[in-house]
Structure 1
Amino acid sequence: MTDNGDPRTMGRRTVIGGAAATALAAAGFQAVPAYAGTHGGHQPKTVRLSVLGTTDLHGNVFNWDYFKNAEYDDKAHNDIGLAKISTLVKAYRMQVDRHTPAPLMLDAGDTIQGTPLAYYFAKIQPITGGHTHPMAAAMNAIGYDAAALGNHEFNYGLDILRKFQRQLNFPLLGANAQDWTTGLPVFPPYVLKRVHVPGERPITVGILGLTNPGIAIWDKANVENKVKFGGIVELAKIWVPRVRKAGADVVIVAAHSGMDLSSSYGDALPVPENASVLMAETVPGIDAVLVGHAHLEIPERLVTNKVTGQQVVLTEPLKWGMRLSVIDLDLQKQRGCWKVVGRHSQVLNANTVEADPQVTNLLQADHDKVVGYVNAKIGTCTEAMSAATAPWEDTAALDFVNFIQADAVSKALVGTPQASLPVLAIAAPFNRAAAIPAGDVSVRDVAGLYIFDNTLLAVTMTGAQITDYLEFSATYFKQVSGPGPFPADQVTNAVTPTAPGGTPDYNYDIMGGLTKPLAYKIDIAKPAGSRITDLQYDGAPVGADQQFVVAVNNYRQSGGGNFPHVKTAPVVYNRQVEIRQLMIDYVTATGEVNPSTFHTTDWSLTSGGAPIVVNA
């Protein structure tokens, strides 16, 4: 095979070795021997088909943190972005022998949302105006063969999604994204790829795409009365046989649904959010699954289909382009037909390679434009807000977060049975260094108050449950007596059985009201569990049975921190909108942050009922 301009075959070599092999070895690639079994008393030819995969790219092309205005880094020193993935893909293609089928390249969804780069070309300079989406440009340059829809593909509405779809050189698949009335797929359910095998008939690979049913809840405003979403397992049972009947020798599913059975939306839908393993176990005819949605690194999981007894290989390559999955399927001819006889998968680490200059050069202008955007003025602030003292006193900075969350939920609940309930919100002091200055405010300034990619939910809770929740939160404080002054480290970050190194700041939650104040005191002279006093809403004691809507982030609602009641409380709002983006949108829309409109001192620390003083 020679180079012909197709990115899927460019640069292939006749031998394994050189720079490509070195790059792959550094990324963690382990060569696995091909299947060596026998059939019919002789040794048939084994052909290896490789499938490369990404998922949950979330708008990452460059290894760049737009909110920090610096190269991306985390505790594990991961790198991110399609430019790094492109280097790995090219290295893998180069080391494939010309007598071996060219590898396929797939994605399992959540592509066009998650960074300022993605936001800019959805909201500031929408691609509906004609600009090519940077994710489309990068994926086309890499040479993807197919991608599944993710739930975040629907965040910006169907017009943006359809434009993105038209810009791709490969199909965007979603067998369970169905017309509201007819039930027919509104995106291609699958694609057949015929892979050349020298000296043999081609291998026909069926690639089925399935997206997350939770879109019906999370993006209800964008899809209701237009698109509905069937269950992962239910639609796979319909479409896998059809893909086989259409001629597929191999069936690979790109599923935007986590491996292990669970649902963040409880029983709000009759089908689960995460069901990839269940699908592999119960739907006959699947050979491999590229898994997305859960943001986990799972190099390989083998499950046995309960109907056929055949193994299925599943892999999930973390998120944001940190990893590249490699699925190896060994095939042999049996009665004239290709059959998978061996399967294996692994992941490669993108932090071992340099970014592909072809991709970075292609999109440098887009990147520079967005860097300018996040550092440009989007509004003003009438007075400086700092989170430095947020763990021990009521601050405007955290009141701002709570105001944004509660306001978004309140507006979304109009016309629902919960519209008349008081709305509260919960926030934690994520970053003591965060501050919004007086005067000009940039996107980066606002984002610093909310450094995590949490999305917004709302649940209903009773007054008694709120008391329990606040008592649990107050275990963050060490027990002291007297008025102080105390240094902050003598009061905060208490050691507990579940936090032997001290309770982190992000596990101290502050609660506030939207239209009326929620006021309370925390008496840290008392033992944990009996510290909340004078809990009032709008000046009246909170009743044990009084009903509230509480805005909360997805980490907390899913059980993060093990706070009481919130995980099992009824969910009344969940559109998977990032809280950080809601804050940026508010400043952009209003042009001003004025703490006097949302900041009141509603909670305080006491000792024996008397105020205490804490110094930073």
Structure 2
Amino acid sequence: MKNRKDQCELIILETSDLHGNIFPINYGNNTETNSGIAKIATLINIEKKQADYTLLIDNGDVIQGTPLTYHFAKYLYEKKNPIISILNRLHYDAAVIGNHEFNYGLSLLYKSVDESAFPWLSANIIEEEKNKPAFGTPYFIKEFDNGLRIAVLGLTTHYIPNWENPSHIRGLKFEDVFETAKKWVKYIRENEEFDLLVVSYHGGFERDIASGEPTESLTSENQGYQICNEIEGIDVLLTGHQHRRIASHLNGITIVQPGFNGQVLGKVNLQFQLHNGKWNLISKSSELVEVNDITTAQSDLLELAKEYEKQTQEWLDQPIGKIIGDMSIEDTFAVRLADHPLIEFINKVQMDAAGVDISNTALFHNESPGFFENVTMRDIVSNYIYPNTLKVIRISGQDIKDALEKCATYFIMDEQKGIQVNPTFAEPKPQHYNYDMWEGIEYQLNIAKPVGSRVEKLTRNGLPLSLSEQYEVVMNNYRAGGGGDFDMFKEKPVIKEIQTDMTELLADYFLKRKAVEASCNHNWKVTW
């Protein structure tokens, strides 16, 4: 449609949940992947060459998620943030604050914002002292040379205080996304001149887009469905957070969500017609553009991060200890059915760091390889993929039982009287990290029994666990705050906080002992 003065095409390009992926590699084994911003950049440049006008937005969770970004945050933070340098090079128009932007603390986040050549948006994250948006403007308007004006409002899931280390969000309050969206959409419509209103929301959909059936518990973590159905005046809703691939419409609003880790580029096609001096939207659609085997990585972007990557790889290959025995994983499903040496080891490290004798942890993802004989930092970050810290909270025996019942919902019975993973833990976003396994107690989960009554054995040191007695338990900070709908842990007394990341605690445990023996006391199992 180029060179038509009375018509124009605008392409909105969205990345979301890049999670620090720059290089197209799997850091566990350094094999090439179809992912990362360097490959996505090739798709972005193709789209820019073909369209009259483009708007490029990152929808959040961009500065955290890979060993490179972790190593940068821990050891190279005085240098420029490589992921921000890349977004600047690609001329992003804006970025939205995601929940994982806070994982490395406010100092690094504000430094990243200051280095950015584009605005960061989040209308509902408020600086308490000044009672104003903490990251500058809640929205911006991009005007193109033909007079086309696009308004973009940014929002962030307000569920962050349920997950994040309190010191990382000190002085901030997180207002309800839906109410904030309603307020600011009304304000923009009444006070600004624009031709299209875009909402970029680091959050997803709480209901099935087609049927309207709830797809998650009513936590308000995701409010996209409600936004589309109850707020008038939005033309396009860019989403993320759930790591889904969506290109559709909902109540007349064009919606898109481009997966995660830079595997997909979200694209919204918009056609405008000039009438009486105003641009009218005449058509809109959305699609997903996937990275594939022939997509090349943009070499100048790799060069920007080359030195960071070199130092990361050297750090990952550092030998830190040995395993006597076997902590490797052949079947992740089997690991969640009965005590396994890797899970017992992680719980032991947590208990050692916290000075308590009850602990829980998860097998965070289905690509965990476990530990083989010679252990490096690469092995640690391949198994423990989140920058979690630890908390010791005081909870009752009843809380422990309730948490185990919650964990037992991870399984369902199939038609052949076997068990499988409950689909709600796999779709729309894998949540294997919300199934915990415990040390310091003995228990048995019987999946053949009804939900809520599956804990058929619960003892401590061979004696029935007192449901009224209080116990001090160590767990990661996400779980201790009630993350994953573990409401029984919310607002419980915090006895101790261990601010060292678990990856460092695991490495230090090896470095102090040189060799660690694989052990398994078989204190729990799942039956059916």
- The partner residue of 1:63 within 4, 24, 28 is 24
- The partner residue of 2:438 within 512, 516, 535 is 512
Q: Secondary structure at the match of 2:132?
A: coil
- The answer to whether the Cα contact below 8 Å between 2:407 and 2:434 also exists between their aligned partners in 1 is no
- The partner residue of 1:540 within 463, 473, 477 is 463
Which runs of structure 2 are paired with 1:424-443 in the superposition (5 Å)? Answer: 424-427=359-362, 434-437=370-373, 441-443=375-377
Matching residue of 2:242: 294
- Percent identity of equivalent pairs: 26
Which runs of structure 2 are paired with 1:89-488 in the superposition (5 Å)? Answer: 89-96=44-51, 100=52, 102-126=53-77, 129=78, 131-187=79-135, 188-197=137-146, 202-244=147-189, 245-260=191-206, 272-300=220-248, 302-304=249-251, 311-351=252-292, 352-377=294-319, 379-381=320-322, 383-387=324-328, 391=335, 394-404=339-349, 423-427=358-362, 434-437=370-373, 441-450=375-384, 461-462=398-399, 465=402
Provide Cα deviations, 1:212-254, integer angstroms capped at 9, x if missing partner. Answer: 2122232252355411111112112222233342322222111
- The answer to whether the Cα contact below 8 Å between 1:512 and 1:602 also exists between their aligned partners in 2 is no
The one-letter code sitting in structure 2 at the alignment partner of 1:374 is L
The one-letter code sitting in structure 2 at the alignment partner of 1:587 is L
> Quick one: distance in 2 between partners of 1:541 and 1:258?
42
Q: Secondary structure at the match of 1:601?
A: coil
Q: Taking structure 2 as the reference length, what is the TM-score of the superposition?
A: 0.78
Q: Secondary structure at the match of 1:346?
A: strand
> Quick one: distance in 1 between partners of 2:26 and 2:522?
35
The one-letter code sitting in structure 1 at the alignment partner of 2:505 is Y
Q: Secondary structure at the match of 1:103?
A: strand
Q: Taking structure 1 as the reference length, what is the TM-score of the superposition?
A: 0.67
**Greater RCO structure (CA 8 Å; 6+ sep):** 2
Give the Å deviation of 1:143.
1.5
Give the Å deviation of 1:71.
1.8
Indicate how the Cα distance of structure 1 residues 594 and 604 shifts in structure 2: closer, same or farther if over 3 A, else same: farther
Matching residue of 1:572: 490
Cα RMSD after superposing both structures: 4.5
Give the Å deviation of 1:211.
1.2
The one-letter code sitting in structure 1 at the alignment partner of 2:379 is D
- The answer to whether the Cα contact below 8 Å between 1:67 and 1:448 also exists between their aligned partners in 2 is yes
Q: Which runs of 4+ in 1 moved over 6 A?
A: 262-265, 451-460, 469-476, 506-510, 530-534, 552-555, 594-598, 604-607
**More displaced 10-residue stretch of structure 1: 426-435 or 221-230:** 426-435
Give the Å deviation of 1:350.
1.1
Provide Cα deviations, 1:177-202, integer angstroms capped at 9, x if missing partner. Answer: 111133211212112211123xxxx1
> Quick one: distance in 1 between partners of 2:338 and 2:239?
44
Give the Å deviation of 1:142.
1.4
The one-letter code sitting in structure 2 at the alignment partner of 1:257 is G
Matching residue of 2:8: 47
The one-letter code sitting in structure 1 at the alignment partner of 2:258 is P
Give the Å deviation of 1:290.
1.1
Matching residue of 1:75: none
Unpaired runs of at least 5, structure 1: 1-12, 16-33, 35-43, 73-78, 305-310, 412-420, 477-492, 560-565, 575-580, 608-616
- The answer to whether the Cα contact below 8 Å between 1:329 and 1:343 also exists between their aligned partners in 2 is yes
The one-letter code sitting in structure 1 at the alignment partner of 2:289 is L
**More displaced 10-residue stretch of structure 1: 289-298 or 589-598:** 589-598
Indicate how the Cα distance of structure 1 residues 496 and 125 shifts in structure 2: closer, same or farther if over 3 A, else same: farther
Indicate how the Cα distance of structure 1 residues 594 and 495 shifts in structure 2: closer, same or farther if over 3 A, else same: farther
The one-letter code sitting in structure 1 at the alignment partner of 2:140 is V
Give the Å deviation of 1:167.
1.4
> Quick one: distance in 2 between partners of 1:70 and 1:298?
27
Indicate how the Cα distance of structure 1 residues 494 and 594 shifts in structure 2: closer, same or farther if over 3 A, else same: farther
Indicate how the Cα distance of structure 1 residues 168 and 359 shifts in structure 2: closer, same or farther if over 3 A, else same: same
The one-letter code sitting in structure 1 at the alignment partner of 2:148 is I
Indicate how the Cα distance of structure 1 residues 110 and 423 shifts in structure 2: closer, same or farther if over 3 A, else same: same
Give the Å deviation of 1:66.
1.1
Give the Å deviation of 1:144.
0.8
> Quick one: distance in 1 between partners of 2:224 and 2:141?
21
> Quick one: distance in 2 between partners of 1:223 and 1:452?
15
Determine if the alignment matches structure 1 residue 584 to structure 2 residue 519: no
Provide Cα deviations, 1:97-155, integer angstroms capped at 9, x if missing partner. Answer: xxx3x2111111001111011111111211xx1x2211111111211111111011111
Q: Secondary structure at the match of 2:111?
A: helix
The one-letter code sitting in structure 2 at the alignment partner of 1:372 is E
Indicate how the Cα distance of structure 1 residues 433 and 134 shifts in structure 2: closer, same or farther if over 3 A, else same: closer
- The answer to whether the Cα contact below 8 Å between 1:210 and 1:255 also exists between their aligned partners in 2 is yes
Indicate how the Cα distance of structure 1 residues 446 and 463 shifts in structure 2: closer, same or farther if over 3 A, else same: closer
Indicate how the Cα distance of structure 1 residues 123 and 14 shifts in structure 2: closer, same or farther if over 3 A, else same: same
Indicate how the Cα distance of structure 1 residues 567 and 552 shifts in structure 2: closer, same or farther if over 3 A, else same: farther
- The answer to whether the Cα contact below 8 Å between 2:359 and 2:475 also exists between their aligned partners in 1 is yes
- The answer to whether the Cα contact below 8 Å between 2:389 and 2:501 also exists between their aligned partners in 1 is no
> Quick one: distance in 2 between partners of 1:255 and 1:299?
15
- The partner residue of 1:603 within 517, 523, 526 is 523
Q: Secondary structure at the match of 2:40?
A: helix
Give the Å deviation of 1:531.
11
- The answer to whether the Cα contact below 8 Å between 1:85 and 1:321 also exists between their aligned partners in 2 is yes
**More displaced 10-residue stretch of structure 1: 83-92 or 173-182:** 173-182
Matching residue of 2:36: 81
